[in-house]
Each structure stands twice: as C-alpha cells, then as structure tokens.
Amino acid sequence: MAKSEEREYTVDHDAAVRKIRFLIDTHHETVPGLAKGIGVLPDTIQDVLDGQSHVSGALVRRIADKFQLPMDFFSAEPVADQQLQVKTPEKPQVRSTRAQRVESKPKPAVASPSSEMDEVRRTQKALIELLIDKGVIHSGEWQARLRRTRLSK
C-alpha cells in the first residue's frame, strides 16, 4: 500500500463525505467492508456519512491508504481571503409559463376557392335531397333541370 504523505491537510467535511461516497460506489464497496478494510467500526464511517460526526484526518488517511490515493484527493482547496466573504445567493427570477401576448391580430384563415366550392356543392346537394324527400320536387324534374342548365352554358 502507498503511504500517504505526512503533511497536514485541511479536509472539508462535505467534500470528504462526497468523495467517500464516490469511492464506495465506484469500487462497489460496502460500509462494513470499507470499515473492516481500514480497521474501524462500521458505525464510525456511517456516522460520518450521515453527518452525525465530523470526518477526522486519521480516517481520511486510512481510506486514502486503502484505495492507494494521495491525501490531496480529500483535501480542501485553500480559500483566498477574498473568497471568504459571504455572498448572498441570487434569488432565481420567477418567469411566467404563459405564452407571451402577440401584438398583431390573428388573420382569419382564408379558405381556398376549391374548398368553398365543395362546401357550396354539399349544401346544394343536401337542399335538393330535402326537397325531394318532402315531395316538393321529383328526382326526374331535378335531373331535367340540370340537363337544361348544362346545355345552355
């Protein structure tokens, strides 16, 4: 096993927990298996993962040795003095999910001449069928009128 460096590292708790979970997932390790491998009780690791206790440098060093990682893997990056100032997070802007209004008035759909003629034909046919059904005109009379109209064109 690779021995980790003796240099002291600052360990960010949240980052260390995130990286321990990452190692457990990627190496298909269990908490009891990891605890047995580094010589601690499973409850110790579980308490750290659950946030009930802080991660210690010794625990991180043991985990780093088990997975043959440098301590830099767990160390927190040094924070500059300028970055220490707490910034208030920007509030997300609430945006409407409604469609935006359109300034121009919608133009009515213009029916094509052929569709208008089809509509006239259907209406005329329905009217003639009604007249024939009511006995106002006979079918033969209507056919004779149609022939006369076609011949006069």
Instruction: Look up residue 102 and give its DSSP letter.
Output: P
Q: In this predicted structure, what is the pLDDT of residue 91?
A: 66
Q: In this predicted structure, what is the pLDDT of residue 1?
A: 45
Q: In this predicted structure, what is the pLDDT of residue 4?
A: 44
Q: Which candidate, 79, 74, 70, 80, places its Cα nearest to that of 11?
A: 74
Averaged in consecutive runs of 10 residues, what is the pLDDT profile of the chain (153 residues)? 53 84 88 90 89 86 88 65 56 68 70 80 88 87 84 74
∠ CA 33-34-35, rounded to 5° = 90
The answer to whether the beta carbons of residues 55 and 12 sit under 8 Å apart is no
Give the CATH fold of the 13-78 domain. 434 Repressor (Amino-terminal Domain) (1.10.260)
- Report the half-sphere exposure of 48 (CA within 13 A, side-chain side): 26
Helix (H, G, I), strand (E, B) or coil at 127: helix
Q: In this predicted structure, what is the pLDDT of residue 77?
A: 56
Q: In this predicted structure, what is the pLDDT of residue 9?
A: 62
Q: In this predicted structure, what is the pLDDT of residue 5?
A: 46
Q: How far apart are CA 72 and CA 80, in angstroms?
A: 18
Task: Provide the terminal-to-terminal Cα distance of the chain, rounded to the nearest Å.
Answer: 106
Q: Which stretches of the chain are DSSP H helices?
A: 13-26, 31-38, 42-50, 57-66, 113-134, 139-152
Q: In this predicted structure, what is the pLDDT of residue 137?
A: 86
Q: In this predicted structure, what is the pLDDT of residue 86?
A: 55
Which position has the token pair 């109209």?
149
CB atoms within 10 A of CB 91: 6
Q: Which candidate, 56, 24, 17, places its Cα nearest to that of 40?
A: 56
With 0-12 CB in 10 A as exposed, 13-18 as middle and 19+ as buried, what is 16? buried
